[in-house]
Structure 1
Amino acid sequence: MNIAYNPAKLAPPPARILPEPVAAQPFPLSVTCVGEVERADEHFGMGPWWVQQSLVLGKRAGLVKAIEFAREVVANREYPLGDADGSDFAAELFLILDRDRRLVLAGNLVASAIAWCPPVVSDAEARQVVQQASRLRAKATYEAGCDNHRAARRLRRDAGVLEGRLVDIRWRDAVRRALREIA
């Protein structure tokens, strides 16, 4: 008995995977702040030192609501430090992420306002942003090796702000509309 092998009869029918529309994106959006917390050194007598820390500030059901919430946090300077009572927190970067931790929007704290990073327009622009950020991080590594830690920190921060433009492709159009709406 001769059984012919026919892969077309065994394989499932082809499936089409469609991009997930923004309207169906998982909510709520998480608002996070990245900054530095001052820690006091009580044991070694070296004085205070700073540690980078991310704080989840809250969750909101929509993009405009998340942007407004971040603005309120900055205006009121209310950062939930938890067990770091008495420590000083210096906010630097605000991130809005969806439930799947995709970047929706990023903003740089300038004085007492958030300067939201415009999302990249194309994949080619995204590649340029990644290259620029990589160059900044390489310069930061060089500066840190020369004990120029202040310059290294500034360069790393600039790279992080630049990378804030790398909004997930599913969110780019919605972010542009929201930024026009709140302007």
Structure 2
Amino acid sequence: MVEMKIIKGDATSPQAKGPKIVAHVCNDVGGWGKGFVLALSRRWPEPERDFRQWHRARAGNDFGLGATRLIQVTPDVWVANMVGQHGLKPGSAGPPVRYDAIGACLATVGREALRRKASVHMPRIGCGLAGGTWERIEPLVTASLCERDVAVTVYDFDERPTMGSWLC
């Protein structure tokens, strides 16, 4: 098992050599415009474009809670769009985060990381707009990635006002 690293920095600028996967949580209603996705879109247009196309064609594909798509953005970097949030706002069922869906997404990311011999980089997924807690997310990351010997770096961005509320 490898230890998870938590550092200050920007998950869209992964600090590692070799292949890298930048993982983040998306919603299941096709919304892309707040939180960490803004930083992704500023860095690479491909993840947003793919997410919107994936959502538009959802009647004929696997789009939905627990689904993951990897989009190559440079020769050695992929972005994992992980659908782990139901809706956009808290409701009678609580916050939009869906821990079981995030667990399924992370299992997919783990398989892909092993296949590509990649490290995984992420903000504290599911803790911002999705309304989850790191205490519930961290064990999912550990089980799906660290226990499978996938190197994981979690980034705490230190300029919250400019990035929105995507950090815990």
TM bin, normalised by shorter chain, reads under 0.3
TM-score, reference length from structure 2:
0.26
TM-score, reference length from structure 1:
0.25
